[in-house]
Structure 1
């Protein structure tokens, strides 16, 4: 996991160096600035060594091409075998991008399986792209007649740019061929067809999920897991623990945070004991929130109330985990794939509308929850991995009828109870992994289950001096703190992630 900057037709190494230093928290292991001979390109990279730690330094320079990348290519070993291992000069997974590009295949990028953003340059061409759902960030700005690319908005702060925009998920820019949307999220199925074998559907979902978790655990360093005690993170942790056991490794390290006695801490302890993980927890207070709020908002690059609230416990979890590991698994994506939000209940009698809404919300994750997870974990030099957003899992989950995801009653029950259950098919698929009371535990937002909302009340009182702080005043405080943190806050706010009216609901539980 890394951060990078690329200047094209700008040619200013000093500028590239100053920009990369603003996001150096993303990669504390090494920082490099390099140019490509006889080409108008400068690349800067900060590295967090996860795969190929010995020889995976970037930028990767070979012949007349140069590459910088952020993220992980999980099928890099398979690609090495297909492309010819002898052609590779490093053990870095990112090098596969370079060789696929050289293959000349029209859809070479579609063969990359993972989370990534990259910029690749030749002497007269530049190519930049982002993974299918935008798990890893990538921004593009204009500087005169040239371009500047960066992993975070703060890299551009104080730089005289004409415009900044996020490269959309699943999109590639080629200076020769223009823009391509190389990936489109498959549209979700709706009604339950007669004769559907629900048991087989659940069993196959379990297999696909297990493969996704195993794949997203590939690393040359130890991978832990966030564990909130909610369904999503608990499932991921339970499967990950089994993967480590099968590999003959020790217990999975799990990490949980919350206020004293909060539901998440109690549930996480129960899960950790059940699966046998090596569990760590951190109890935070209102004072902790007040002390870290400015830090959270600066790194989050947003003043949105819901994002800030959920980013606070994420920060404490990231700090706790980074003391032990360099990478963690998280449960992001399950709510969008399997109908886990409270507002989804409005669609319980309209599976088609629910399927459409789930597909839409998958397409907005890059600017909301995925931005929160990326910025806050990388602020602590920690790589967060999201197995629920594995491409094969997305494809399979979208093929499952929405009628099996949100059910007014158990589809297999003889008598209707009238109770609506979110993520029903996911619960069924993983029911044996966890105690029954945890599998069917009702959802709580991360900021509520962790106790953040209550602790935040005290923190806001300390920061404002008022006995009561309503939502509008809370948002105004967050915006003020963001404006104070940046030289050019308008650029940040213009591109900030927000829960707009179309998103309907605040952040997920895991």
Structure 2
């Protein structure tokens, strides 16, 4: 996990060093600035060492090719075997990108399985690409006749650029061949075929989940897990714990945060005790929120009220985890795959519309949830991994009919969570992993279950000097002011910030 900058016909080493300095939090273990010989290309990199920690420094210069990459290629061992180990000079998973490119296959980038963003240059060509969901960020800006690429918007702050764009998820830019969409989200299924076996579907989902977690646990350092006490993070932790114990690796380290006595802290303790994880927790206060609000907004690169609220507990979880591990699993993506949000309940009688909405929502995650996860964990030099967004798991989940994700609840069912049950098939698939009370627990948003919303009122009152409740408009105005205070060019940041208002469609 890293941060990088690439200047293609756009600047020199001094500018690259200045820009990468603003991303140093993404990679405290190593860094470097490299020019491609006899070409107007400069790349800078800051590294958080996860795979190949001894010899995986970047930028990677081999012959006439120069590469910077961020993320993890989880099938790198398989690709090495296919490409030939003799080609490789390092143990870094990122080096597979370079050798796949050199094979010049038409869809070489589609063979990369993981979360990634990269820029690769030859003396006369630049190629930039991003993973299917946009888990890892990548921006590009015009600078004169050239381009500047960077992992975060803040790298461009105070820099003279003409225009900034996001490289879309699942897209590739090639200066020789132009833009390509190399990944398209599979369309979600609506209603089951007559032959569908619900029990077997749940069993298969469980197997695919296990494979995803196993793949996303690959690392040369210890991987822990966020544990909010909710269904999604609890499933991830339970599966990872079983896999670690089966390999004799010792208990999984899990991390939970919340206001003292909050539902999330209590539920996480119960889950940790049930699965046998090595659990840590931190109880934050309203003063903690007041002290860190500006820091959260600066790193989040957004002033959206809902995004900021959900980012706050993430910050404390990341700080807690980073004391002991460099990478954690998260439950991000389950709500979009399996209909987990409250607004999805309105679709219970419209399975085709629900399937379409889930497909659409998966395509917007990069600028909302995934922006929060990436920016806030990387602000603390921690890698967050999202096994629910594994490509194979997405393919399978999208083939499951929407009627099995959100279904009306039998009023005589003792496990009922309400008139409708969200994530029904996911709950069925993992019912044996966790206590029944948790498997069928009604979902709470992270900022609500952790007590963030309650504590935030105290923090906002402290900052604003208010004696009464702070309404949403005043809260949003404060977040915007705090963002503007931290950036030389705040309008650039605000122009690219996703919002929850835009992310959810009405039925």
- Same fold, judged at TM 0.5 (above): yes
Q: How does 1:89-488 map to 2 (within 5 A)?
A: 89-409=89-409, 419-466=419-466, 467-488=468-489
**Residue 68 of structure 2: aligned partner:** 68
CA distance in 2, matches of 1:228, 1:413: 26
CA distance in 2, matches of 1:364, 1:355: 15
TM-score (norm: length of structure 1): 0.97
Report the count of equivalent residues. Answer: 505
Output the aligned Cα RMSD. 1.6
1:183 deviates by 0.2
**Residue 492 of structure 1: aligned partner:** 493
SS of aligned partner of 2:337 = helix
Deviates most, 495-504 or 67-76:
495-504
**Mapped contact 1:404–1:411 kept (Cα < 8 A):** no
Q: Could you give the per-residue CA deviations for residues 119-168 of structure 1, whole angstroms, max 9, x where no partner exists?
A: 00001000000000000000000111110000000000000000101000
1:504 deviates by 5.1
CA distance in 1, matches of 2:276, 2:413: 33
Segments of structure 1 that go 5 or more residues without pairing to the other structure are: 506-510
1:501 deviates by 3.7
1:39 deviates by 1.2
1:11 deviates by 3.4
Q: Could you give the per-residue CA deviations for residues 166-208 of structure 1, whole angstroms, max 9, x where no partner exists?
A: 0000000000000000000000000122131001100000000
**Mapped contact 1:259–1:452 kept (Cα < 8 A):** yes
CA distance in 1, matches of 2:414, 2:118: 53
1:299 deviates by 0.2
Segments of structure 2 that go 5 or more residues without pairing to the other structure are: none
CA distance in 2, matches of 1:468, 1:133: 38
**Mapped contact 1:3–1:23 kept (Cα < 8 A):** yes
Q: How does 1:16-55 map to 2 (within 5 A)?
A: 16-55=16-55
Go from structure 1 to structure 2 and tell me whether the alpha carbon gap of 1:414 and 1:57 turns closer, same or farther (over 3 Å shift).
closer
Go from structure 1 to structure 2 and tell me whether the alpha carbon gap of 1:92 and 1:417 turns closer, same or farther (over 3 Å shift).
closer
**Residue 508 of structure 1: aligned partner:** none
Q: Report whether the alignment pairs 1:83 with 2:83.
A: yes
CA distance in 2, matches of 1:51, 1:70: 12
CA distance in 1, matches of 2:330, 2:253: 13
Deviates most, 240-249 or 149-158:
240-249
1:42 deviates by 0.2
TM-score (norm: length of structure 2): 0.98
CA distance in 1, matches of 2:500, 2:173: 27
1:498 deviates by 1.4
